[in-house]
Amino acid sequence: MSLPKDVAVGPGKIRRSDGNVYGRYDGPGSFSAKIQSFKEISMERAQRAVEIYLKRACEAMVRDSPVLTGNFRYQWQFTMDQKPTSTLIYPGYTGPGNEIGGENDFIVPAEVTLSRLEKDRIQFELGRTVYIYNLADYSIPLEYGFSKKAPEGMVRVFLGRSQFVLDAAIEQAKQEIE
């Protein structure tokens, strides 16, 4: 025996097989409108929280880089969906011999690298895979204690405080997007 189908009895109303009339109101303030608004605000907050987190991650990697001279600080790259495949050349870099006081001595300001990373980072969208990479030949030794200035590395130090950074980013996003 099949149950009778629901029957429309008016705009937005149906009579169910149990005999009761059910309806919905989709006007302003309705439940579905509130759910849609909640979804949109949540997505905006999530996007903003991840943007803040990624900005702080980039800042930490660059500013904690123990090598101020040479090309290392400039090598930080931000990519989405695929790992970077080539190193970058800092304008004016002429190769080895760039130690402090060396013939090719120069300091890469953190702001130069952060500005470049910012241009790549602002294209981020939720759901994409992000890579923050340094392809300098000596990046792995630096990460694992080669430098006395950063014996714990840069990435590992950031990962140790990443939950705190993420929590702060979420709170900031909540305050910015009401």
Q: Read off the pLDDT band of 121 (50, 70, 90).
A: confident
Q: Read off the pLDDT band of 87 (50, 70, 90).
A: confident
Q: What is the rounded distance in angstroms from the CA atom of residue 155 to the CA atom of residue 65?
A: 10
Greatest mean pLDDT among 17-31, 46-60, 85-99: 46-60
The token pair that represents 65 in the structure block: 């880089």
Q: What is the DSSP annotation of 52-113?
A: HHHHHHHHHHHHT-S--BSSTGGGEEEEESS---S----TT--SS--STTSTT--B--HHHH
Average pLDDT over residues 47-75: 89
Q: What is the rounded distance in angstroms from the CA atom of residue 143 to the CA atom of residue 152?
A: 7
> Which tens digit of pLDDT belongs to each residue from 162-172?
999 999 999 99
Distance from chain centroid for Cα 48? 9
* pLDDT at residue number 33: 76
Residue 23 has pLDDT above 90, yes or no: no
Those residues with Cβ within 8 angstroms of residue 67's Cβ, 6 or more apart along the chain or in another chain: 73, 142, 147
* pLDDT at residue number 138: 87
